Structure 1
Amino acid sequence: MASRPTRPRQPPSVPPEPEAKVAGTPQRRRALRAAGTSTTVSRASSTPARPAPRRAAPSRTAPPKAAERSRTRTRADVADLAGARKARRWRPGRRALGVLAGLVVLAVAVGWLLLASPWLRVETIRTTGLVRTDPAAVASILDRARGTALAGVNTRSLSRTVEDLPLVERVDITRSWPSTLVVTVHERQAVAAVPSTAGGVDLVDGEGNVLVHEADAPAGVPTLEVDVAAAGSDALTTAIAVNATLSNELRSRVSSISATGPDAVTLHVEGGPQVFWGDDGRPERKSEVLLRLLAEDAVAGARSVDVSAPDAPAVTP
């Protein structure tokens, strides 16, 4: 009998796996299909994955060495940039050097013009204010500046030298370009004439300084008739002080002043009475009262007037 051919043994069929579930809502599935992305997930993937443990954040108190080096390099770069800017700021350019050189040349030219040029030298000296001062004595001092540079004249020193003269109180010196010195002399004013033992009178200022010796007292300058040996030097000083405080109107009417002591000064009015003045106190009030009394005819012809107490004057016919 013929044998029946044997069929090869097929492996047992494996039941098909159930269809994977489609994840998401219908709208989600349609969107994924339109994008060409599979909407099926395996059973294993359907299981939610555990979140990975968070990595500990680096401590802020201790920055990494790399960050620290980066900061150091940044600060160094900023410092270098600031230094470079400062160097560029203070580095003079060609234009600045040219301007500086021009200023130096201009300064040298101006200095030469003022101090060394022959055009700005003292050629003329104009002096005013000399009345009793010897002009030759003043000229001998001022001529030292003649021919020197006008800008280089030391006006203060020159003024002090002229002020050393006895009759000179103050000197003002100014420059008048290009070659003139203008000198204004202010002389001391003689307020009294003191008889001299050698004859004539000595003209004194308000401080009692002897200015000059003259043969006679000039007009408007009263004579001080004080016996210093008998009355003392204080009497002369007080008489000078009284004369210095008289108004110009009253002094022009006084011919002489005498004193027997520092509190016994007498004015001799020309063509009028003798005026007992007393000491040198309250001169303004005494002058006011005396001028008002002299304006009266009865007082003008009186023998004497006492204004030593100006609030209670006395008149002796």
Structure 2
Amino acid sequence: MARPTPPRRPPAPATPPEPKVTGAPQRRRAGRAAGQPLPRTPRTAQGAAPVPGRGSATRPAARDRAPERPRGAERTRVADLAGARRARRWRPGRRTAVVLAVLVVLAVLAGWVLLASPWLRVATVRTQGVERTDAAVVQRVVDGERGVPLARVSARSLASRLEELPLVESVDVTRSWPSTLVVTVRERQAVAAVPSTSGGVDLVDGAGNVLVHEDRAPAGVPTLDVDVAAAGDRALQAAIAVNASLSSELRARVTSISATGPEAVVLHLAEGPTVVWGDDSRPERKAEVLLRMLSEEAVASAASVDVTAPDAPAVTP
């Protein structure tokens, strides 16, 4: 028995393909086509809508976005800001101006105290080393500095005025604050006494400069017995040079020095032989040989000793 054929169902209407949604405009068009109401998207206070899929973050509306600046302009702006910051950093402020003003005032005040105030003026002058020089003459020279500001005293000028005195070799001037000037005088030392035609002796230094006239030679200063008219100036200079080169030990035993020429200098001892010295060469060697020979009894009682050639001395009994 044949089964009855079931009635055919009408074919189901074809479901239209869903539109491909890729963005907000496409979603709105698809909703309108399906007859669904579109939800209203809340706007933010600045007029920007939330971006789907990114939480509550918002993107500013196109009309509210600031225009992008070119990279060159941004670099220029950064450089300008850095330059302004440096200029602001190095610009002297009010505090720097005050400090500079205070420093200027202090410098002016210090200059006035040193150069014009009555507190740092010379009130006392102390002299040292004056022995044979006339103290009254020295005092008159240094008294001219009294009342002068101590900082304005010219030590070189004062020393040069005192060095014009015959017996003064050099002068040292120092300041002792607040009001004392110390003048130290070094006098020329007389190394020999030269008999004078008018009587007495002239004391001379190692260079032959006459320092002072005395009635007789002081103790420890030998007399130069040189006839300048007959022997000449060179003989006197040779005698002075020999006397200046003698050691203190040997000079203490010499009473006088004579010379008939520049190469014929003779020493006269207080006790012992006459010493033929010769010229003024090799004084240290001659003095060494002479002192060693004088220590021998035979030489000490001799008439003369010749050390003209110190490496081959000769003794005259």
Corresponding position: 1:248 with 2:266: no
Q: After superposition, where does 1:23-38 map in structure 2 within 5 Å?
A: none
Q: After superposition, where does 1:107-186 map in structure 2 within 5 Å?
A: 107-186=107-186
One-letter amino acid of the structure 2 residue matched with residue 267 of structure 1: L
Instruction: Provide the secondary structure at the position in 2 that maps to 1:119.
Output: helix
5+ residue gaps in structure 2?
Answer: 1-19, 23-69
The change in CA–CA distance for 1:71 and 1:278 in structure 2 (over 3 A counts) is farther
% identical equivalent positions: 71
Instruction: Provide the secondary structure at the position in 1 that maps to 2:183.
Output: strand
Q: After superposition, where does 1:1-12 map in structure 2 within 5 Å?
A: none
The change in CA–CA distance for 1:71 and 1:208 in structure 2 (over 3 A counts) is farther
Mean Cα deviation higher: 91-100 or 243-252: 91-100
Q: 2:73 & 2:286 partners in 1: Cα distance?
A: 93
Q: 2:280 & 2:241 partners in 1: Cα distance?
A: 7
Q: 2:77 & 2:304 partners in 1: Cα distance?
A: 103
Q: With structure 2 as the length reference, what TM-score do the two structures score?
A: 0.74
User: Could you say which residue in structure 1 is the equivalent of 2:283?
Assistant: 283
5+ residue gaps in structure 1?
Answer: 1-34, 38-68
Deviations 1:240-297 (A, max 9, x none): 1111100011111100001111111000011221100001111000001111111222
One-letter amino acid of the structure 2 residue matched with residue 106 of structure 1: L
Q: 1:243 & 1:266 partners in 2: Cα distance?
A: 10
Shift of 1:72: 9.3
Structural RMSD (CA): 2.4
Shift of 1:213: 1.3
One-letter amino acid of the structure 2 residue matched with residue 203 of structure 1: L
Q: 2:250 & 2:152 partners in 1: Cα distance?
A: 48
Q: 2:191 & 2:84 partners in 1: Cα distance?
A: 78
Q: 1:210 & 1:217 partners in 2: Cα distance?
A: 13
User: Could you say which residue in structure 1 is the equivalent of 2:259?
Assistant: 259
One-letter amino acid of the structure 1 residue matched with residue 91 of structure 2: R
One-letter amino acid of the structure 2 residue matched with residue 217 of structure 1: A
One-letter amino acid of the structure 2 residue matched with residue 193 of structure 1: A
User: Could you say which residue in structure 1 is the equivalent of 2:316?
Assistant: 316
Q: 2:82 & 2:273 partners in 1: Cα distance?
A: 95
The change in CA–CA distance for 1:233 and 1:82 in structure 2 (over 3 A counts) is farther
Q: 1:82 & 1:170 partners in 2: Cα distance?
A: 66
User: Could you say which residue in structure 2 is the equivalent of 1:191?
Assistant: 191
Q: 2:134 & 2:76 partners in 1: Cα distance?
A: 82
Instruction: Provide the secondary structure at the position in 2 that maps to 1:261.
Output: coil
Corresponding position: 1:273 with 2:268: no
User: Could you say which residue in structure 2 is the equivalent of 1:57?
Assistant: none
Mean Cα deviation higher: 107-116 or 244-253: 107-116
Number of equivalences: 252
Q: 2:153 & 2:316 partners in 1: Cα distance?
A: 63
User: Could you say which residue in structure 2 is the equivalent of 1:4?
Assistant: none
Shift of 1:300: 1.6
User: Could you say which residue in structure 1 is the equivalent of 2:99?
Assistant: 99
Instruction: Provide the secondary structure at the position in 1 that maps to 2:312.
Output: coil
Shift of 1:91: 2.6
Shift of 1:101: 1.1
User: Could you say which residue in structure 2 is the equivalent of 1:215?
Assistant: 215
One-letter amino acid of the structure 2 residue matched with residue 162 of structure 1: L
Q: 1:108 & 1:145 partners in 2: Cα distance?
A: 25
The change in CA–CA distance for 1:304 and 1:82 in structure 2 (over 3 A counts) is farther
The change in CA–CA distance for 1:94 and 1:277 in structure 2 (over 3 A counts) is same
Instruction: Provide the secondary structure at the position in 1 that maps to 2:315.
Output: strand
Q: 1:198 & 1:122 partners in 2: Cα distance?
A: 45
